[in-house]
Amino acid sequence: MAARVFDALAQSLGATTQLLGAMGVAFVVTIVACFIILRIFPWFRSGERKEGHFRADQSTGSYHVDARKGLRKLRVTRADSHELPLLGGPAMIVGVVVASITTGVLLNLDDQSWKLLATVLVAAVGYGAVGFVDDWRKVHLDAGLTEIQKAAGVLLVSLGAAVALNRYIVTGPLSARFAYPPYSDFPLLGTLLKDAHFAWIIFFLLMTATVASATSLAVDFSDGLDGLAGGLLLSAALSFAAILLGEGAPDLWAPAIVVLAIAGAAAGYLPFNWPSSWKARGAGRGRRRAALIMGDSGSLAMGGMLALVAVIARLEFVLLFIGGVFVLEGVSALVSARILVRFFRRFLYMERFGASRGFAHTELPLPFLATPMHHHYDLLGWDRKRLVYGAWLLGAGLGLLGVASVIGTFTWERYLARFAALLVIIMVWQIGPWTRSYFIGLTRATKAAPDARHLALYYGYPFRLFGRPLSSQVDITSVTPEALDTPAEKLTLWQRISGFDARSILGYYCYRTGDFDDALRIWAKIPRANLEKRPEIAEMLAEVRHAIALRSTEALDQLALPAQDVEAEPTPAATEPQFDPSAIWPPLHPEDPNASLWRSPAPPAGTLATTRLEPADEAQAPHPDARPPATPSTPLWSASAWTAAMSGESTGQKAVPRLDIDQPDHPLEPAMDTGSTPAESAEEEREPEPASEISGGRNPQPFTQS
């Protein structure tokens, strides 16, 4: 008897060791495949560029591949994009497939297990094919699949996997041919599923397709920061592996092999996609450590396999807890961009604007600045590395609670673990609305200077809990509280309002005290659509720019060479001063997204003194870098001429500046993007529907509320 028990234990340990070997094989194969891909296909990068404001390091649309016939190899042109090669996903798929087949051969799986394994692997290749088509189009055509096309492809693959599981797995405890708990135990529904003809087949196909498609797309949404999706996949796969290996049943070997292979592939991929605080255009700290991203092919395939394993092992509800971060990412995009934005645009009337249409979607009372959720915190300026590490910790904690909800000894323990996981998910969701609002406050007093406090911009809540602030400082000015004259102005302090209103008010205080540099820096971060709804601020912004321009021209006069002041005999070609755009286009604040757009066309000859700055016309305005050709007979022009002209000294008339408030993308402006890819083009004073992109990836164009 003891010998038989010992033999059974040894056999079980040997099987477990071979199962764990799948993780090692996938790890090695993925690392080798990533090295080969980086060596052979470094040019496979996205060139997609989407409309609207978002992040500073989204694709510039400038990475193109010349694939004309007759060339021996592909050539990269204009390769200044911040995108990374998109082939980490294929490397992961290869690692999972090789490891799964190798382990299945070593374990000598039975026919049913091979069918289960083949179904999951073929589905993974199908998901990967849909994602690869999307990635290929981004590289060669600068535009991926549409939302409908990608969703349809993922749904088609999910339905095919569901049909295979229902029709070809006919024996064993994992057969889905007939209704099983908990669905068969529900009142009324259970009776319908067991007795009604075709009811169970239809229900199973719909349930499997929904779970697999939603999970696949949710993982795709999560692949928006370096290392985020890879680390979450690792913790989720290990959690499922702990549950399946704990059962110790040979029937569960096939799904256990898959999740262990996913964990190994994710571990092999992470060294090539390790998170860092890097941000494009100098907005972050340190260098970028990532060299590869998985792209849509990897995120769709890994998410789809994880969901199919949950369905095969009948752990669909546990997937909600183990993949809680994926749930938050997907639900935030769905609720905010696809439900609330459309509902508000149709039924919401905003009294302050006096119209139900024609205002920016960023003015809507949405729960997040941008979706998927990780972009909300990225736009708030959180350190990316810490943000990803925090998401990993959250995913690991939810994974442990998910495992406890299955292996708990007593029923109350399992339900307590599920309740705790649900509570954590709800609390994390609520952090978004808590941190969305801004307020104007005062900097903290110090012992050295207790009265030297200044106005600053914060987001969060104006409270301290256990001595720790519930807010974070965004900007600081040189304005002191003494600049607030009326009680109404003093009441604006510590009041939670939208980021655009907070910047408008704070910039006004700077403007009134004569601190034009601070006013320009603060107002310049308000997007065009939101600035148009605040015309008074737009006028003051134009005045601030004009004042800074005059100040810069005065500095040019002081630095003018003596030769410029030498009077020369007037010539017919020099009766009027030559217009020099560089003299009136001073370098503004480096964070000003409108700096390159405050331009005026060259005044015609003889009208310089009465020139009026008009809104720039895109079709006729000179290029910002254009310079009129200088003629030898034209004397050097002194900046004082333009200063006098703008101040009205020549004719007694004062030039009134105007401004075309058209702003390009600005890095990391929190309230700039209420969704992942907002299309800001108006449709007769109405914005289009949210251009939410079903693309997690690293285009990076998240699914956003536009």
pLDDT of residue 150: 94
Kindly report the pTM of this predicted structure.
0.76
What SS3 state is found at 456? strand
> In this predicted structure, what is the pLDDT of residue 13?
56
Q: Whose CA is closest to 150, among 693, 704, 702?
A: 693
Is the Cβ–Cβ distance between 82 and 45 less than 8 Å?
Answer: no
CA distance 503 to 501: 5
Relative to beta strand 75-77, strand 64-66 is antiparallel
CB atoms inside a 10 Å sphere around CB 396: 18
List the one residue out of 251, 266, 239 whose CA is nearest residue 88: 266
How far apart, in whole angstroms, are the C-alpha atoms of residue 83 and residue 48? 10
Residue 386's CB is within 10 A of a number of other CB atoms, namely: 12
Q: Contact, 84 vs 291, CB < 8 A?
A: yes
Q: What is the tens place of the pLDDT at every residue in 441-470?
A: 999 877 767 778 999 999 999 999 898 888
- pLDDT (tens digit per residue) in 334-376: 999 889 998 998 888 888 887 767 778 888 889 998 889 998 9
Domain ranges of the chain: 12-435, 437-442+452-541+662-667
Q: Using only C-alpha atoms, what is the Rg of the chain? A: 31
Contacts of 599 (CB under 8 A, 6+ apart): 581, 585, 616, 621, 622, 624
**Tokens 């779970």 -> residue:** 211
What pLDDT, on a 0 to 100 scale, did the predictor assign at position 30? 97
Task: Express each pLDDT in 297-307 by its tens digit.
Answer: 999 999 999 99
Q: For residue 453, which of 505, 494, 514, 498 has the smallest C-alpha distance?
A: 494
List pLDDT tens digits, range 248-307: 788 899 999 999 999 999 999 999 999 998 887 655 677 889 999 999 999 999 999 999
Q: Is the pLDDT of residue 668 over 90?
A: no
